Chain A
Amino acid sequence: MSHENATPDTQPWNDPKAVPFLQVKNVTKKFGTFTAVSDVSLDVYKGEIFCLLGGSGCGKSTLLRMLSGFEDVTSGQIIIDGQDQAGVAPYARQTNMMFQSYALFPHMTVEKNIAYGLKRDGLPRDEVAVRVSEMISLVQLDKFANRKPHQLSGGQQQRVALARSLVKKPKLLMLDEPLGALDKKLREETQFELMEIQENLGVTFVVVTHDQEEAMTLSSRIGVMTDGQIVQTGTPHEIYEYPANRFVADFIGSVNIFEGRIVEDEVDYVVVQSRETNTDIFVAHGVSGTVGQKVAIAVRPEKMTISKDPLPDMRNVIKGTIAEVAYMGNRSVYQVQLESGKRVRVAHPNRTRRGAHTLTWEDEVYVGWAGQAGVVVSQ
């Protein structure tokens, strides 16, 4: 769909000749009778930031722990840089991990924490010192080199953890909820720092997160996980605009879902009849379905327009009453009650200072969206 302009340089996953750096082949992990990861296959290419995104208990952390060797695979194969990782202990793997809790050694200073991995490799003392101080400057902790972890703020601890996991120049860096413990503002800053460091060092990142915003900004590609399976893999843009199914559409961002039946099925459009809207919904892309088939249509709130006046140039227009207004500063989100009783969410940018006040509770409004705005998702 969005692949037309793909260049092999920036999108190796579209290059059939590219060899994946990390290959996960049909990996399954069972704990007793519980299946945590079920038949997952995944290719990650060199230099990528690949995000595993999913709610808690979806198996993303278990998958990460199998990549670093803390858990054995029940079946399947993990290949890193051409080497099968079966039976390779964590300390023998050329991967490093940044732990969710950071797991900084509390009895060691920042310097010693970062030096720990290099010392284990038996590097000469002066080389260790040089590489540690390089790393400390990279993460801007020069003033804190002799402090212990408990004397640092959350953001500083996060940077120590990052430095410690990067100093060995791993082939593959695993990050488990790297920004989870930071507040929102710090998180945004750190995200960009992280991307910059990744670009400079050229390390391949596999990031586990439950935060879709984090996944969207950080990653080159996202694998959305639920119930131990990857349900969709794609760039942030693909995942957001072309969700493979209802779960992905719902999980990433907010979305309005209309259920209905296909009444017209052409090559480049479909028309869906839905009880929830009282009007037919026009979707400007073809689907592999048949007339009469039950489908769901996903429309993002920000792709809808809300107005007191009829919207003649919109392909889909429905009437409703404003039930809730949430003012978010840069935009307002309206919940509009349709005649069928269904509520839809419409996001409206606040372009003028007074814009927010022109629409209010109980107003009769028209909600419209263009034919390309909606997307048909499987159930």
Chain B
Amino acid sequence: MNRAPDIESKLPAGQFIGRILNRFGFRGRGLVIAIPTLWLLVFFLIPFLVVAKISLSEAAIARPPYLPIWEWSDGFLSFSFNFGNYMFLFEDPLYLSAYMESVKIAGVATIIALLLGYPMAYLIARSAPNTRNLLLMLVILPFWTSFLLRVYAWIGFLKSNGIINNFLMSMGVIDEPFVMLQTDFAVYVGIVYTYLPFMILPLYANLVKLDPSYLEAASDLGARPIVSFFTVTLPLSMSGIIAGCMLVFIPAVGEFVVPALLGGPDTLMIGSILWNEFFSNRDWPIASAVAIVMLFVLVVPIMLLRRAQAAEQEAAS
């Protein structure tokens, strides 16, 4: 008993530090959660609040180009929130149609990416472990080149005297070049191309875990391969499908580079509007309001989806 302090001094360093931290009220579990919490706070919540603040202020020709939302004078602290920015967004049909267009383009691109990505992910998950690593590598490989360069490269493919048109004309398939660049088609190509890996990777991670004995059981019970795909594989990969679609849809709604480079003057995406407001018009308050509304456009469906999932899980138990 009287040798207890001696034993404590022989503790491994990690445990020793742990004990000291405990004495000051820190718990290991708390620390582990604290780091990501702090990260989200500093790099997500605070910038969000700053943007929210700017969206409620008035534009001004000044530096920074907006007026403060509170003022201290003669012993009075006065706040002035300018909701005009938001009202303006709903008055001008430009913004509304840009939101709709963005959601539509992102939605269609997500579905195309799912239809392309699912068979690819399935094939990778079903191939031999060695081939699997190679194929995964090929999926990730484009990330090693700048995203901007890769989108520029598509211009070379799609333009009127680009590779595709030249090839088709030399084959005699067409007489006049297809107009592909600066159309919605080019925007779809760009977005699907850019975000396809984000669809494939979560789907792959899901499909590779699928226990092959489920498929054997289905086959044993009389299901042909196509039937067991729709009754077993597809429903069991639903969480991967949802994750992949989220990872494609969310950034695609706010996509700016692809419509700017590949889209035409008719392509109205909210990302381009945002860029114009910030950098061309230098109207920071309107730009911030556009960003905040976009956030709600994205967050609300995610919340609804999560609530539906939670309800489903609750109903099951």
Contact = CB atoms under 8 A, between A and B. Distances in A.
Interface of A: 68, 70, 89-93, 95-97, 99, 101, 103-107, 116-117, 120-121, 148, 151, 164-165, 168
Interface string B306-317: 000000000011
A22 B157 CA distance: 63
B316 A148 contact: yes
A148 B316 CA distance: 7
A168 B221 contact: yes
B214 interface: yes
Contact of B222 (A99, A101, A120, A151): A120
A137 to B, nearest CB: 20
B217 A105 contact: yes
A164 B213 CA distance: 14
A109 to B, nearest CB: 9
Interface string B220-231: 111110010001
B217 A103 contact: yes
Given A120-B227, A148-B316, A151-B317, A103 B214 contact: yes
Which of A92, A117, A151 counts the most B-chain CB atoms under 10 A from its CB?
A: A117
B218 interface: yes
A99 B216 contact: yes
28 contacts: A70-B216, A90-B216, A91-B222, A91-B223, A92-B222, A93-B220, A97-B216, A97-B220, A99-B216, A101-B213, A103-B214, A103-B216, A103-B217, A105-B214, A105-B218, A106-B214, A107-B236, A116-B218, A116-B221, A116-B231, A117-B221, A120-B222, A120-B223, A151-B316, A151-B317, A164-B221, A165-B220, A168-B222
A241 B221 CA distance: 39
Contacts of B317: 151
B220 A91 contact: yes
A81 B217 CA distance: 22
B151 interface: no
A208 to B, nearest CB: 14
B281 interface: no
Contacts of A117: 221-222
A154 B280 CA distance: 66
Given A103-B216, A103-B217, A106-B236, A91 B316 contact: no
Nearest to B225: A91
A296 B244 CA distance: 66
A116 B232 CA distance: 10
A97 B317 CA distance: 28
Contact of B213 (A103, A107, A151): A103
Nearest to A109: B316
A340 B213 CA distance: 53
A99 B231 CA distance: 19
B214 to A, nearest CB: 6
Given A91-B223, A168-B222, A99 B217 contact: yes
Given A96-B220, A105-B214, 18 more contacts: A70-B219, A89-B219, A92-B222, A93-B220, A96-B221, A97-B217, A99-B217, A101-B213, A104-B217, A105-B232, A105-B236, A116-B221, A116-B231, A117-B221, A117-B222, A120-B222, A151-B316, A164-B217
Interface of B: 211, 213-214, 216-224, 227, 231-232, 235-236, 316-317
A30 to B, nearest CB: 19
A117 to B, nearest CB: 4
Contacts of A148: 316
A116 B231 CA distance: 9
Nearest to B213: A103
A165 B218 CA distance: 11
* Closest 7 A/B residue pairs (Cβ): A117-B221, A120-B222, A103-B217, A103-B213, A90-B219, A91-B219, A107-B235
A97 B222 CA distance: 11
Nearest to A170: B220
Contacts of A96: 220-221
A148 B217 CA distance: 17
Contacts of A104: 217
A165 B216 CA distance: 12
B171 to A, nearest CB: 43
Which of B231, B235, B317 counts the most A-chain CB atoms under 10 A from its CB?
A: B231
Contacts of A70: 216, 219-220
A164 B316 CA distance: 21
A69 B218 CA distance: 13
A234 B211 CA distance: 36
A91 B227 CA distance: 11
A151 B232 CA distance: 19
A120 B221 contact: yes
A101 B222 CA distance: 19
B220 A68 contact: yes
B152 to A, nearest CB: 44
A105 B217 CA distance: 9
B66 to A, nearest CB: 52
Given A101-B211, A106-B236, A107-B236, A121 B222 contact: yes
A95 B221 CA distance: 9
Contacts of A121: 222
A172 to B, nearest CB: 12
Nearest to A70: B216
Contacts of A89: 219
B211 to A, nearest CB: 7
B231 to A, nearest CB: 7
Contacts of A168: 221-222
A165 B222 CA distance: 11
A175 to B, nearest CB: 12
Nearest to B235: A107
Contacts of B222: 91-92, 117, 120-121, 168
A101 B215 CA distance: 13
A177 to B, nearest CB: 13
